[in-house]
Structure 1
Amino acid sequence: MAFTDPYHQAAELMVMRHDDPLRSIADLDGRRVIVSPGTSYWRTAERLRESGINVALELPPEPLGTDEIISRVADGEFDLTIADSHIVALEMAWRDDIVADIALGDPVDHGWAVRSENQDLLAALNAFIDKEYRGLFYNVVFDRYFASDAGEASLPLEARAEEELCPWDGLVRAYSSTYGFDWRLVVALMFQESRFDPEARSPNGALGLMQMLPRTAGQLGFSALHDPETGIHAGVKYLAWLRDRFEDDLSVHDRTWFALAAYNAGYGHVQDARRLATQLGLDRDRWFGHVERAMLLLSRPDYAQSARYGYCRGAEPVAYVRTIRDRFAAYSRTAES
């Protein structure tokens, strides 16, 4: 095997519940560490025991991804686990119920592995890494997935005129009323999508305050998405179209959460998660604690291959909906409806 130049570094961290923090490796004595077999985490836990730390090394009761094991640690079902720092960062971008302050070694390089005889591929990969590593696209994508703050939604709101949430409150109020939304929810969505920047453009081509794809906006009759009024109208109309695709007899709140998840991940993936929730004995009509749990599983190959719309990085819509809900709650305490 041959390895490319490194494109990333990660250290292994001990992950625990936020209300049960440990201060040092010595505090691990007598605790239970749940990790999957055959992984570097398992070997790290074995080395801990060999060094004299009396940890109980346990297998999960079923094949689970690292993100799922972390979720069970957060829920109190598992005691501790080990995860790479970038995976922990991804989880902590949307949750505040875990901590990972104990490093179990120095950061190690990450690179692509290729057959040693495939030197052309190795050279092409190294050229790509040399061009993109730490460049604009790399930094934008890295910040989107790993650098957001789970506590952001609870931070004090910016000091503006009384009850003003963004420069386009009037437009948001008008279009939210037209389509039946609380205007503060739409402002929370807008902040999540663009940070109130009408010139925002995502790596995949989404534009404007509501980060609409031009093709989707065009199907709804909109084009100039960098114009604040157009962008807001297009986004709210699209959110309403998604909401109206879900059953009328859902609770108002859950219908809204489903619409937000679909705005982020697509209607088909949300429906896949609802079908999976039924199979798991969860409530397909409730987002929090039910469909969101099924959504997380759609990133696992064994679940994705049987889903109608295939693989979905489920952690992103789960984080997305939670963050908007929390910011909506903060806005609701600040501004009148």
Structure 2
Amino acid sequence: MKQTLNGLLFLIIFSLFGIQCSFLKEDRSKENHWENPVPIDLEEIVNRGFIRAVVDNSSVSYYIYRGRRMGYEFEMLRNLANNLGIKLHLIVTPDIGEAFKLLNTGKADIIAMNLEITEERRVFANFTKPMGQISTVLVQRKSNNMVKDYPELQGKEIHIRKDAVYRDQLTSLQELYEIDLNIIEDDEDAENLVNRVVKGEIELTILDKENALVNATYFDNLDVDLEISPNSDVAWAVRKNSPNLENAINEWILKRKKSGYFNMIYAKYFQNPKNSYFRNNSPFSSLSGNTISPYDDLIKKGSETLGWDWRLLASLVYKESGFDTTATSYAGAVGLLQLMPVTLERFGVDNPNDPIQSLMGGVNYLKYLDKFWLERIPESNERIKVILASYNIGHGHVEDAWRLAIKYGGNPQSWESIAHFLKLKSNPDYYRDPVVKSGFAKGHLAVNYVADVMILYDSYRVLINP
């Protein structure tokens, strides 16, 4: 009996130890993602055709305003991607720790979150040349009991963004002035914390000075005078094993600084607080509302007819007209969905400037295209991209690419394969092929068009609730 109990006890201890070891190994593998970052550098990124950057949904970084993608970091990232000749894909998260994990596991290539360069962060990634400098300030409501000097922070509760450098800055103040603080790290972006201060839900937070000054211009009850830390360099982060990407970004930074581009973007977002106020507080901004355009209800109704996510249809409308009912293209396309005269007549649109007629005419055309491709491409996600290309260039040209995919051993049910042959329709070896009925086409423009709509849809899907 004793032997049995000893054996059982051994098994229990062994099992617990084994489980503990497995947890430790799992935790260690999760924690040490930076020790063996995925080997992806500039060449792989260019061959892939797009670069992935981590941003957060804030007026400094990235947001949607009236359907348009905006933000200080976003505009610079877009310029960099254009300079590299590739597309820009964005990943939105307020979690800085998660951003470093995304970087080192190969799910992102750049962290563009206005990061202060610190020795602790250098363990996780390399930093580019400085993009600029920032200082940090205390954000509080104006009152007779405001904190005006560091000793007055004694016993205060300060909410800060998780994984930000603000904890270290506050810890230094505690040691220097021998005060006690209750520092609470929240899983929220800085601007949400500011809004909570404004509403009186929390008393204090910390924010970058430039962003704090913008907020103070449109929230009269905010005080941002007490500096927590002086100016320090901020930069983007890249994987340690991506030297070519790092060098390319550094070259781009030097050139853009010399050209005055950085100063221009800085002025746009930080030196015109009135514009910032309207962008940040508009119901058509992802920072304060959940509306893309004045035509959202109409777009939602049209998307129900199509069976699409309404944000996808909104992406198409923005790509076509920027939500301008009077928009007219050089080719004569008009209205929200830029229909040509022959299409207007076919789908019963009498007044293309009427948003209801224009949008529903476009929706009916999209329904026709969906029916045209349904049996050939049953998978809806693949078919949607083919429909978008057909909407842009005409389904005859896309059908040619579909036939070429069949003839040359491609996958005629895959957008990637159809897109490959669509781009080849500017090559006489292909547009003169006997299976081609519609002749020459600048197919690469249609492929880029689909990519643009889908990238915008990804942004709407992340920042705008369904």
TM-score w.r.t. length of structure 2: 0.40
Displacement of 1:176: 1.2
Q: Identify if the C-alpha distance between structure 1 residues 91 and 268 changes in structure 2 by more than 3 Å, giving closer, same or farther.
A: farther
More strand by share: 2
Report the counterpart of residue 234 of structure 1 in structure 2.
361
Structure 1: which 4+ aligned runs deviate by more than 4 Å? 88-91, 96-102
Residue 287 of structure 2 corresponds to residue 287 of structure 1:
no
Secondary structure at the counterpart of residue 42 of structure 2: coil
Residue 447 of structure 2 corresponds to residue 318 of structure 1:
yes
Greater radius of gyration (CA): 2
Displacement of 1:75: 5.0
Per-residue Cα deviation, 1:91-114 (whole angstroms, up to 9, x for no partner): 94x735998989xxxxxxxxxxxx
Aligned partners of 1:242 and 1:291: how far apart in 2? 16
- Answer whether contact 1:95 1:319 (CA < 8 A) is retained: no
Displacement of 1:225: 0.8
Displacement of 1:336: 2.7
Per-residue Cα deviation, 1:94-147 (whole angstroms, up to 9, x for no partner): 735998989xxxxxxxxxxxxxxxxxxxxxxxxxxxxxxxxxxxxxxxxxxxxx
Displacement of 1:335: 2.2
- Answer whether contact 1:284 1:291 (CA < 8 A) is retained: yes
Report the counterpart of residue 386 of structure 2 in structure 1.
258
Displacement of 1:334: 2.0
- What residue ranges of structure 2 are gaps of 5+ in the alignment? 1-39, 50-80, 90-244, 253-279
Using CA pairs under 8 Å that are at least 6 residues apart, name the structure with larger relative contact order, 1 or 2.
1
Aligned partners of 1:190 and 1:232: how far apart in 2? 8
Secondary structure at the counterpart of residue 316 of structure 2: helix
Superposition map of 1:170-181 within 5 A: 170-181=297-308
Displacement of 1:228: 1.2
Superposition map of 1:167-246 within 5 A: 167-246=294-373
- Answer whether contact 2:285 2:292 (CA < 8 A) is retained: no
Secondary structure at the counterpart of residue 244 of structure 1: helix
Q: State the identity %.
A: 30
Secondary structure at the counterpart of residue 268 of structure 1: helix
Of residues 19, 42, 57, the one that matches 1:19 is 42
Equivalent AA in structure 2 for residue 281 of structure 1 = G
Identify the range of structure 1 (214-223 vs 202-211) with the bigger mean alpha-carbon deviation: 214-223
Report the counterpart of residue 268 of structure 1 in structure 2.
396
Per-residue Cα deviation, 1:205-245 (whole angstroms, up to 9, x for no partner): 00011100122111111121111111111111111111110
Identify the range of structure 1 (321-330 vs 240-249) with the bigger mean alpha-carbon deviation: 240-249
Aligned partners of 1:199 and 1:276: how far apart in 2? 38
Report the counterpart of residue 57 of structure 1 in structure 2.
none
Size of the alignment, in residue pairs?
205
Aligned partners of 2:41 and 2:421: how far apart in 1? 24
- Answer whether contact 1:194 1:210 (CA < 8 A) is retained: yes
Q: Identify if the C-alpha distance between structure 1 residues 91 and 203 changes in structure 2 by more than 3 Å, giving closer, same or farther.
A: farther
TM-score w.r.t. length of structure 1: 0.55
- Answer whether contact 1:18 1:96 (CA < 8 A) is retained: no
- Answer whether contact 1:194 1:200 (CA < 8 A) is retained: yes
Residue 47 of structure 2 corresponds to residue 74 of structure 1:
yes
Aligned partners of 1:218 and 1:89: how far apart in 2? 39
Aligned partners of 2:43 and 2:414: how far apart in 1? 29
Aligned partners of 2:300 and 2:307: how far apart in 1? 10
